[in-house]
Structure 1
Amino acid sequence: MPFPPAELPRGVLRLGADESFQPVIQEQIKVFLSQNPDVKIKVIYKRESKCIRDLLDNCIQMMIISRGLTPKEETFMQAKNSYYVPKFELISYDALAVIVHPKALKKRFKIEELRSLLKGNNKKR
């Protein structure tokens, strides 16, 4: 939803993001920019540890990573930038969908069975 006219975002946002999120973030940025043409977003995709370092070094203004900051990281960030109080928002959860052939004999799995299958410890039955 577009911003009200008085709150329209403008300028350049430097964003760091975990590399694994690139396809999703690119699509979200397209939608955002279509509704907010006065904004430019520069995204740097890299490992989450480097995103955190870039935020601490003021190279980026925002980051999208797969977790919240640890208490140690929050303390360090506040000590380095006394005006900065880190905020984060949960935007999604991971999920796993198991799709089996309609003629498969097994339709339900226990968590332990899935874990074993994903580790490659599957046994033919």
Structure 2
Amino acid sequence: MASLEFTGGTRKTILEEMIKSQRLSIFLSCVCMLLLLVACGPQKNDPSRFDSPSHGTINISVDESFKPVMEEQIAMYETSYPGTNIIAHYKPEAECLRDLFTDTSNRAVIITRGLTEKEEKFLRDSLKYIPGWNAVATDAIAVVVNSASYDTLFTLNRLEQQLKGKINRNQQIVFDGLNATSTVRFVVDSVLKGAAFDTSVVKAARTSNEVLEYVATNKNAIGLVGINWIGNPEVPEQVKMLEKVKIAYLECMVCEDTPYVKPM
């Protein structure tokens, strides 16, 4: 598994660009803060008509790679506050941002980066307002292979060369889409340094779960997915999936005890 970390609107590599960390950014603040802000208006009539931290319904758009962990968080919040209903729409990153710019019913966006200067200018010029955002958590991208594969050691250079189609062309690399997703954006920006990948060796799946299913049924496939789709030992479905796929090791140039690492 490779690990990349970002702050603000850009990402930088750590562990010699071997371990990728993604930060979830919540635009318009976190769900609780949103509910509090809506609740600050006058409430002269029936209180049930207004949102509050313990009552109401909101719609949010969430990067699809965060679905497992977000479903856990939403379920916990709604259990703690039975009067609340958080409707999450899981989409590629670009579609989440589109909702922020155009969907007036959308109350928050949870993605892997902050706003760019261009995006802030658009909101400032069109809405006279720039939504607040903050980094609230970290995630990682895991490199997964078929359980029958013996090819479990990767370097960043090898991944770059394979994505460009220069080596190991018999191995299919699978993403959760070929564009508009945070995983693809990260790989293009931080692994390929802006270069294009070879679409003849890169396959697009519609969701992270489809990436895992494809790798599970194709011995020569290599999948790139958010670690929360495969790295939680407390989720039975993920434990079951680890019988069909396994997480690969990536070279670590700064680790003292081992040349290769993986998240679990």
- 1:41: which partner in 2? 86
Which residue among 101, 112, 115 is the counterpart of 2:156? 115
Stretches of structure 1 lacking an aligned partner (at least 5 in a row): 98-112
Inter-partner Cα distance in structure 2 for 1:86 and 1:32 = 23
Within 5 Å, give how 1:71-90 maps onto structure 2: 71-82=117-128, 84-90=129-135
Inter-partner Cα distance in structure 1 for 2:105 and 2:71 = 20
Sequence identity, in percent? 36
> Given the superposition, is the C-alpha separation of residues 95 and 45 from structure 1 closer, same or farther in structure 2, using an over 3 Å criterion?
closer
Stretches of structure 2 lacking an aligned partner (at least 5 in a row): 1-31, 33-38, 40-51, 143-153, 169-264
**Residue type of the alignment partner of 1:91:** V
- Report if aligned partners of 1:14, 1:59 keep a CA contact under 8 Å in 2: yes
- Report if aligned partners of 2:124, 2:130 keep a CA contact under 8 Å in 1: yes
- 1:69: which partner in 2? 115
Which residue among 75, 79, 99 is the counterpart of 1:54? 99
Higher strand share: 2
Give the alignment's Cα RMSD to 1 decimal.
Answer: 2.7
Inter-partner Cα distance in structure 2 for 1:8 and 1:47 = 28
SS in 1 for 2:98: helix
Number of residue pairs the alignment of both structures matches: 103
**Residue type of the alignment partner of 1:45:** Y
- Report if aligned partners of 1:56, 1:80 keep a CA contact under 8 Å in 2: no
Inter-partner Cα distance in structure 1 for 2:54 and 2:117 = 31
Is 1:13 equivalent to 2:54 in the alignment? Answer: no
- Report if aligned partners of 2:62, 2:110 keep a CA contact under 8 Å in 1: yes
Higher helix share: 1
SS in 1 for 2:138: coil
- Report if aligned partners of 2:54, 2:81 keep a CA contact under 8 Å in 1: yes
- 2:223: which partner in 1? none
TM normalised by structure 2 equals 0.35
TM normalised by structure 1 equals 0.68
